[in-house]
């Protein structure tokens, strides 16, 4: 069996260091990275194939349990927290295990054994849950459905996002980071701190720009590597 690719999502440096040390002690595990919040974790999930997240519940910006709910096809999750009362919420989200801080190595190994058993049990099969294909947004005190296959791109406008679709456009009060988590990364790609595009709507791209439905949108310096990788996957 190949090594299990791990992502630590933890904003406490000492707690992250402990889990990192445990991972390096187990030959079947490989540490892909450490994220200090859900936004950076989403970027990591776009860049890497992650098998399991060691996820702290109390994260800045977006809490750990809320982060799991935003993912279309989440990896396996092992929760880490100092608060026992969240255990039930975690198991309702089908997490592999729930580790109370401070986490001992023996308890960590128990969680890893559960994880390994799941991989042996299902082999290399992918989960067959249907992908999310729409979101609901607040417009004029109503929840309005926007289907993913109609969205062309999204632009950040200070505290608002401007969603451009094939039928009409929407100006919604929310951050681009919040919307990115709702859209997920299966159909959409963050290309700039101010832009998210639909991969299926892209007609051309180079190192600095993406052409989408006649519009030229800039590729941010920090997003060039992600765009090249994700668009390359889409075109193969």
What CATH number corresponds to the domain at position 190? 2.40.50.1020
Residue 127 belongs to a domain: no
153 in any annotated domain: yes
- What are 13-23's pLDDT values in tens digits? 999 999 999 99
DSSP, res 21 = H
Question: What CATH number is associated with residue 58?
Answer: 3.40.50.2300
Q: Check whether residue 106 and residue 159 sit in a common domain.
A: no
What is the domain extent for residue 98?
4-122
Reported as half-sphere exposure (CB side, CA atoms, 13 A), residue 8 has a value of 22
User: According to the per-residue pLDDT averaged within each range, which of 42-46, 131-135, 163-167, 220-224 is highest?
Assistant: 163-167
Strand 202-205: give its sheet, edge to edge.
202-205, 209-212, 215-218
Residue 180 falls inside a structural domain: yes
pTM, two decimals, is: 0.57
Specify whether 70 is located in the same domain as 171.
no
Q: In terms of domains, do 144 and 206 share one?
A: yes
Domain count, the chain: 2
Instruction: Please indicate, yes or no, whether residues 10 and 116 belong to a single structural domain of this protein.
Output: yes
* Boundary-marking domain end, from 122, 155, 171: 122
Q: What does DSSP say about strands 195-198 and 202-205: parallel, antiparallel, or unpaired?
A: unpaired
What pLDDT sits at residue 126? 45
Of 61, 89, 122, which marks where a domain is finished? 122
Rounded mean pLDDT, 174-200? 90
Q: From the centroid of its chain, how far is CA 52?
A: 12
Three-state SS for 114?
Answer: helix
Q: Do the domain assignments include residue 128? A: no
State yes or no: cis peptide before 102, omega within 30 of 0. yes
Q: According to the model, what pLDDT value does residue 186 have?
A: 82
146 and 178, same domain (yes or no): yes
- Binned at pLDDT 50, 70 and 90, residue 145 comes out as very high
The helix/strand/coil state of 220 is coil
Q: pLDDT > 90: what percent of the chain?
A: 51
Strands 4-9 and 209-212: unpaired
């Amino acid at each position: 069996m190949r090594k299990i690719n791990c992502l630590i999502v933890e904003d406490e440096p000492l707690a992250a260091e402990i889990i990192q040390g445990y991972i390096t002690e187990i030959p079947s595990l490989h540490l892909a990275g450490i994220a200090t919040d859900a936004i950076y974790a989403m970027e990591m999930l776009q860049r890497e194939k992650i098998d399991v997240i060691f996820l702290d519940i109390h994260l800045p910006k977006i809490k750990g349990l809320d982060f799991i709910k935003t993912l279309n096809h989440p990896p396996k999750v092992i929760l880490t927290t100092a608060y026992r009362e969240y255990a039930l919420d975690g198991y309702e989200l089908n997490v592999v295990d729930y580790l109370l801080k401070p986490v001992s190595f023996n308890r960590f190994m128990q969680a890893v054994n559960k994880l390994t058993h799941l991989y042996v049990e299902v082999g290399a099969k992918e989960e067959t849950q249907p992908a999310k294909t729409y979101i609901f947004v607040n417009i004029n005190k109503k929840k309005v459905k926007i289907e993913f296959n109609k969205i062309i791109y999204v632009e950040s406008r200070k505290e608002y996002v401007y969603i451009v679709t094939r039928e009409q456009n929407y100006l919604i009060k929310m951050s681009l980071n919040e919307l990115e988590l709702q859209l997920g990364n299966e159909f959409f790609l963050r290309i700039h701190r101010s832009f998210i595009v639909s991969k299926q709507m892209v007609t051309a791209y180079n190192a600095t720009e993406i052409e989408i439905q006649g519009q030229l949108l800039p590729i941010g310096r920090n997003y060039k590597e992600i765009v090249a990788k994700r668009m390359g996957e889409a075109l193969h």
